[in-house]
A and B are shown apart, each in its own frame.
Chain A
C-alpha cells in the first residue's frame, strides 16, 4: 500500500524531536472527497502539507485493518473522507464507512492510540474550502497529540 510513502516521510521527520511534522494518511473517495481535494487545489486554497492522499473508489472500501495498519506502521493520524450520507455513488458505501469508523474508534484504545488520531468526515465534490478546513483542523489536532507511539 502506502508503506514506502510512509517510510519516506518518516525519514524526513525526526521522531518527536525538533522539527517533527505529523504524517496523516487520508483516504479520499473518488466521487466526492478526492474531487473536493482537487477543487481545493485548483482554487489555490492553502492547507498544511502533512497529508498523503490515497484515492479509493468509495469510503466503504476502507476496512478497519487498513486504518489500524497505517497507524501502527508510522502514520500519526488517519483521515477518512467520503460523500455526505445519501450522496454515495454506490448508494450506501459511506454508511458502511460510518459503521466501520465506530469500530475503528473503539479499537484505537486497544492499540494504545488516542481516538483523536482517526477522523471520518464528509466532504462533497464542491466543498474545496471544507476539505482545506478539515485537513487544517486534523493537522493541528495531531500536532497537539504529538508523534504516534508506534514511531520508533
Chain B
C-alpha cells in the first residue's frame, strides 16, 4: 500500500514546493510509493470539506506530513497542530518551517509596528484601520514549526534541495534515519583560506576575485576577500553529493540559508567572531542581527529596544 502524504504551507513563498517538482526523474519512482491526500498547492482539497459542510478545519490522516513555512497567524498555528495530530511523521520543509526563514526578519519589529507601517504610515496607503474581518489574527511574532509542535525531521534550505527531499522521503519509506550534516559550510568549502583578510569589508555589489570557469578551489575565501559570507555559522549539506556548497559553486558567498549548526547556536556571535578573527572591522557591519540571522529569526530575532 502506498504511504499517504499530506502537505500544508504557511508563511512561505512556495519555492520549497517547486523543489519537490524539481526532484526530476526520481520523483516518478517516489510518486508510485506515495499517495498524496492533501496538498493545497497541487489539489483542490478544501479544509472545511468540498461543500464547506464541516465545522472544523480537517486534514486527512497520513503517514508522512510535509509542512513548509513559519507560523504567522492563528490559522497557521491551528493547522500545524492539526497536521501533527493527523500525520505520523512530520517533516519541516525548508528554512521557513525550520527556523522562520525570511518572513521571520519581521521579528525585528512588533506586530503592532508592522501593521501601523503597512496600513497607516506607508505613503501610498489610505489611512484606514487594520483589517480584522474574516481574516486570521496575526501571532505576536513568526514562529518556527518546531516552536509550536514536535517536528520529526528538518530539511533546511531556501529553498531546500531536491536531492535532500528525495533522500529524506526515500529514507522514510525504507525506514532508515535521515541525519543532517553536523559540519559547517566552511568545513565543506574548497576555497583557499589563509586566516587573514586581504581587503576591508566590501559590499556585495562589488565582484569577488576569481577566474571564471576555474575550479572553486583556486579562489580565495570570500570572508578573506572582504565579503560577508555566512559559511562559518551555517550548516552544510546544500552541496549534496557534489560536496561543494551551492552558492560557493556559483562563485557567490554563502547566504546562510541552511540555518545554524545547532538549536542553541547564536549565528550572530559566531559570525562576528569569525569576521573579527581574520581582521575585518566589526563596526562596519551595519545590521548584524538581521545579516547573520537572515534565515533563523524565529526565536533569535526580537524587536530592538528603543534607547
Contacts and interface: CB of A to CB of B under 8 A. Distances in A.
A68 B283 contact: no
A140 interface: no
Interface string A97-123: 001101110110010100000000000
A106 B282 contact: yes
A110 B277 contact: no
Contacts, number: 45
A110 B270 CA distance: 14
Given A102-B283, A106-B283, A110-B289, A68 B266 contact: yes
Contacts of A103: 272-273, 275-276, 282
Contacts of A96: 276-277, 279
B276 A64 contact: yes
A99 B268 CA distance: 16
B193 to A, nearest CB: 15
A112 B277 contact: no
Interface magnitude class on chain A:
10 to 19
B233 to A, nearest CB: 10
Nearest to A60: B277
Nearest to A104: B272
Interface-central residue, A64, A100, A112, by most chain B CB under 10 Å: A64
Nearest to A105: B282
B115 interface: no
A68 B279 contact: no
Given A99-B276, A103-B275, A103-B276, A65 B266 contact: yes
B288 A99 contact: no
B148 interface: no
A102 B305 contact: no
Contacts of B283: 102, 106
A63 interface: yes
Given A65-B266, A106-B288, A110-B288, A100 B273 contact: yes
B137 interface: no
B272 A106 contact: yes
Contacts of A104: 272
Interface in B250-294: 266, 268-270, 272-273, 275-277, 279, 281-283, 288-289
Contacts of B277: 63, 96, 99-100
A100 B276 contact: yes
Contacts of A99: 276-277, 279, 282
Nearest to B280: A99
B97 to A, nearest CB: 26
A107 B272 contact: yes
A64 B265 CA distance: 13
Contacts of B279: 96, 99
Given A99-B276, A99-B277, A112-B305, A68 B288 contact: no
Nearest to A96: B277
Nearest to B196: A92
A104 B268 CA distance: 11
27 contacts: A63-B273, A63-B277, A64-B269, A64-B272, A64-B276, A65-B269, A65-B270, A68-B269, A96-B276, A96-B279, A99-B279, A100-B273, A102-B276, A102-B281, A102-B283, A103-B272, A103-B273, A103-B282, A104-B272, A106-B282, A106-B283, A106-B288, A107-B268, A107-B269, A107-B288, A110-B288, A110-B289
Given A64-B272, A103-B275, A103-B276, 18 more contacts: A63-B273, A64-B269, A65-B270, A96-B276, A96-B277, A96-B279, A99-B277, A100-B273, A100-B276, A100-B277, A102-B276, A102-B282, A103-B273, A103-B282, A106-B283, A106-B288, A107-B269, A107-B288
